[in-house]
Structure 1
């Protein structure tokens, strides 16, 4: 988990260093792309639950009798929670600094790799999904804190 957090944080700090700065219109365009990427992960998670329910005689009526449905719902719930935090962080960072375009692109990449890792490791337990969770969560938290500091400093 610490390794994933470290990877995400180093990637984000490097992105800030190499971003030359962009006008607001360009930053908003990149924000739109990154928000769409994040949103597609929620679409995939919700679609996965629907697919599992459709194929399950135990859960097609809306219940959670099939353990696969419960797992799918847990992944969808966590993905939704992470998506909300990411959307807030990306938007705040976009508005707080003109050097946000590269960092939010890197954040969206971390989010995608992290969600894929979380999803792939979910059935194998907490240790298997920890890397994915950390790669999604910690860079987002750092982005929120950076946006706050940058907005206050002006």
Structure 2
């Protein structure tokens, strides 16, 4: 295994551990009322809660889009669009972060909404925690992207682990009859 592969493996394992610890801590110790989770939430209330929790996810995506649009606006080389030329060196990383963030957002929001239909009342506290993990992952991914795969691995894995955890919890709850 190369040094970069070792860095990816170590940072990915750390991200998985952080995700597991954050979810367990939220489940066991975070008072649900702190983040507005109530014991008597109907399905519509849970979906509304989940959609409100997703606002920072969409703001992140909008910020990525704004960054790319701003670079394109100021760059003669990039203004025509990606269909007409490869991105400039200045645009390449922000465009890659935007593309990856769009892909990750679709999966994360989908996972969170599916999970919201199965969690009950105060268990909804998990959704803001999953969103926080997603956002932290995106920030670490974006900051590390230009430095290579090893540098962005923690962020990518934190984003992915929180989404996989949401899907995993949903699958378990479905198996339990929810």
Distance apart, 1:28 and its partner CA: 2.8
Distance apart, 1:104 and its partner CA: 0.7
Of 12, 16, 24 in structure 1, the residue corresponding to residue 27 of structure 2 is 16
* Inter-partner Cα distance in structure 2 for 1:13 and 1:139: 12
* Inter-partner Cα distance in structure 2 for 1:86 and 1:65: 27
Partner of residue 46, structure 1: 65
Q: CA RMSD in A?
A: 1.8
Gaps of 5+ in 2: 1-11, 33-37
- How do residues 2-151 of structure 1 correspond to structure 2 at under 5 angstroms? 2-18=13-29, 22=39, 23-24=41-42, 25-62=44-81, 63-98=85-120, 99-151=122-174
Aligned length in residues: 154
For residue 146 of structure 2, give the secondary structure of its aligned residue in structure 1. helix
Q: Are 1:97 and 1:151, in contact at CA under 8 Å, matched by a contact in 2?
A: no
Q: TM-score, normalised by structure 2?
A: 0.79
Change (3 A) 1:132 1:65: closer
Gaps of 5+ in 1: none
Deviations 1:32-74 (A, max 9, x none): 2222221112111111111111222221221334122222221
For residue 70 of structure 1, give the secondary structure of its aligned residue in structure 2. helix
Deviations 1:15-46 (A, max 9, x none): 22346663135433320222222111211111
Q: Are 1:93 and 1:147, in contact at CA under 8 Å, matched by a contact in 2?
A: yes
Q: Are 1:93 and 1:100, in contact at CA under 8 Å, matched by a contact in 2?
A: no
Distance apart, 1:118 and its partner CA: 0.7
